[in-house]
Amino acid sequence: MSSEEGGQSVPEPVTTPERAAESSRPRRILPAAPLRSGFLVAIGVLLAIALALVFVSLSSVLMSLFLALFLALGLDPAVRQLQRTGMKRPWAIVTVAVGVLVIVVAIILIVVPAMVRQFVHIVQEAPEWLAHAQTTDWYQNIENALGIDLEVVIAQGLESVVNISSFLAISGGVLKAAGGIISGISSTVLVVVLTLYFIASLETMKGALAMLVPQYRRETFSSLTDQITASVGGFVAGGITLSSINAAVVFVLQFLIGSNIAVLLAIGAFFITLVPMIGSMIFLVVGTAAALFIGPWQALVFLIGYFAYIQIEAYFVTPRVMGKAVAVPGVLVIIGAMTGAALMGLLGALVAIPITASVLIIIRQVTIPAQDAKTIAPEAG
């Protein structure tokens, strides 16, 4: 049979017996050269494993780079605020850098010694606190409910903490412990230097990144980049502000109930409450447990006072500090924080929320408009 197209007859392809036999043969499953193909696959697997090992070896360096970029984005809103007052960007960067260094030096000279003294005080006064706690009704009720001797458990825990040999055994020896301290100091210096560099070259980095995108997409890409960096920067700056307020509230409450480790608890509150929503509830338990060693009424006062502050923070402080920097639904905040904490610890919990906000920005600005533009079904096109 044939079809008529433009007055010409187009014959159908002829199926010969040889072609029919070839089409009926089973397809080759194994490659033509199995030895060579297997060797290439093995090389590919080894290269992938080697690349993974390289990333694992460079994990501390990559973590420092990521943390420095994260902090730089958090300091960028302060630089922009100074620019709005008429200050040029280089001078704004210098002003912010000097302010950060002054705060760091003040923390090292004032807060760290007080924290060390209070930690030593905890170790020295722990037996007395334990003896006082054992005379209270709530302690005996807990022992009866659990069916264990808390005195023995706590004594063993304190002995393992204050025993220097146990500490060195856990840390891997004197040399490994000293190496860890030196590594921590060098990593801190590296993060500070990289943070200052990233602040100074943030606009240049965003421009260079935009050059990798086709020209007709650069405007949209630059707009998305600005929104994402502003969202991350607003989250970091707002999170540090909220944690500082939280630490101040904890210090005041612990001081009022007569705690001797108010500074230590305030520092702990600062780092724990960096994780939004979850951190405040976690420290509510931690702070109340610490106040129980003073007395049940003091613990009740802290519990009521801090819980009241959590409500004020959630409904009044956070909306004014954060604004619209991170418009992420609460359930996504919890899921993101838990996932990030499981993967990367505290830093993962911190970066999970701005990453989630960045993904939401891309979905709202790119994916949804692209879907809205499809007004005609493919079958009707």
pLDDT 10s digits, 80-106: 888 888 888 888 888 888 888 888 788
290 burial level (CB within 10 Å; 0-12, 13-18, 19+): buried
Q: CA-based Rg of the chain, rounded to a whole angstrom?
A: 31
Indicate the domain borders of the chain.
63-212
3-state secondary structure string, the chain? CEEEECCEEEECCCCCHHHHHHHHCCCCCCCCCHHHHHHHHHHHHHHHHHHHHHHHHCHHHHHHHHHHHHHHHHHHHHHHHHHHCCCCHHHHHHHHHHHHHHHHHHHHHHHHHHHHHHHHHHHHHHHHHHHHHHCCHHHHHHHHHHCCCHHHHHHHHHHHHHCHHHHHHHHCCHHHHHHHHHHHHHHHHHHHHHHHHHHHCHHHHHHHHHCCCCHHHHHHHHHHHHHHHHHHHHHHHHHHHHHHHHHHHHHHHHHHCCCCCHHHHHHHHHHHCCCCCHHHHHHHHHHHHHHHCCCHHHHHHHHHHHHHHHHHHHHHHHHHHHCCCCCCCHHHHHHHHHHHHHHHHHHHHHHHHHHHHHHHHHHHHHHHHHHHCCCCCHHHC
Across 359-371, average pLDDT: 80
The pLDDT of residue 174 is above 60: no
The pLDDT of residue 313 is above 50: yes
The CA distance from 334 to 352, in Å, is 10
- The predicted-structure confidence for 122-157, as pLDDT tens digits, reads as follows 766 666 766 666 666 666 677 677 666 666 666 666
Binning pLDDT at 50, 70 and 90, where does residue 368 land?
Answer: confident
Q: What per-residue confidence (pLDDT) applies to 5?
A: 47
Query: What percent of the chain stands above pLDDT 90?
Result: 6
Going from the C-alpha of 281 to that of each of 98, 168, 228, 248, 314, the distances in angstroms are 34, 33, 28, 16, 12
The pLDDT of residue 57 is above 70: yes
Q: Which of 43-52, 166-175, 243-252, 294-303 has the lowest mean pLDDT?
A: 166-175
The CA distance from 297 to 318, in Å, is 29
- The predicted-structure confidence for 1-14, as pLDDT tens digits, reads as follows 444 444 455 455 55
Q: Which residues does residue 9 pair with via DSSP β-bridges, in sequence order?
A: 4
The CA distance from 14 to 17, in Å, is 10
Across 219-244, average pLDDT: 82
| Identity of residue 255 | F
Taking each helix axis as running N to C, give the angle between helix 59-84 and helix 202-210, from 0 to 180 degrees, rounded to the nearest 10.
110
Across 15-32, average pLDDT: 54
Q: Which residues lie closer than 8 Å to 90 by C-beta, 6 or more apart? A: 200
Task: Report the candidate in 74, 72, 63, 66 with the shortest Cα–Cα distance to residue 274.
Answer: 74
- Of how many residues is the chain composed? 381
The owner of tokens 């979905």 is: 363
The CA distance from 353 to 343, in Å, is 14
Q: Which residues lie closer than 8 Å to 218 by C-beta, 6 or more apart? A: 210, 211
Task: Report the candidate in 140, 113, 122 with the shortest Cα–Cα distance to residue 290.
Answer: 122
